[in-house]
Amino acid sequence: MTFARYGIVENEGGKPLVIRDLGPWTEHPTVTHDVASVVRELFDKALLPPGRRLFYFDSAGDLDEIVVDGARFVHFAPGRRCIDCGGEIERGEFRCAGCKEGDR
């Protein structure tokens, strides 16, 4: 039995968690298809404290939000927006230029 393979893109306290689906999808299911186990695992690793949002780059490289309730997957939400301010972002990014500036 195989599980989705993913990498952690950003894990900063007090900010949303961002992961990326790594595949290869000939050998592993996508995060999209294995999302309940992925959420459970992140929760078990204490990476999803109450209220923390979870975003992921899917197998097509698109950013989406995985809405969770504790250890439970609730639904996917279009997440092609800055994870900090909800503003517009470039493809492949998860934070807008303005918020990146603020990070420095």
Contacting positions for Zn ion (CB under 5 A): 82, 84-85, 87, 96, 99
Strand ranges of the sheet holding 17-21, from the earlier edge strand across to the other edge: 6-11, 17-21, 54-57, 63-69, 72-78
For Zn ion, the closer of residues 22 and 99 by Cβ is: 99
Nearer to Zn ion, 54 or 82 (CB): 82
Q: How far is the CB of 83 from Zn ion (least distance, A)?
A: 8
Closest approach of Zn ion to the CB of residue 31, in Å: 24
Shortest Å, Cβ 90 to Zn ion? 12
Q: What minimum distance in Å lies between the beta carbon of 100 and Zn ion?
A: 8
Q: How many CB atoms lie within 10 A of CB 11?
A: 14
Closest to Zn ion by CB, 15 or 33:
15
Cis? peptide before 24, omega within 30° of 0? yes
Q: What letter does residue 1 receive in the DSSP assignment?
A: -
Nearer to Zn ion, 34 or 65 (CB): 65
Burial zone of 32 (CB within 10 Å; 0-12 exposed, 13-18 middle, 19+ buried): middle
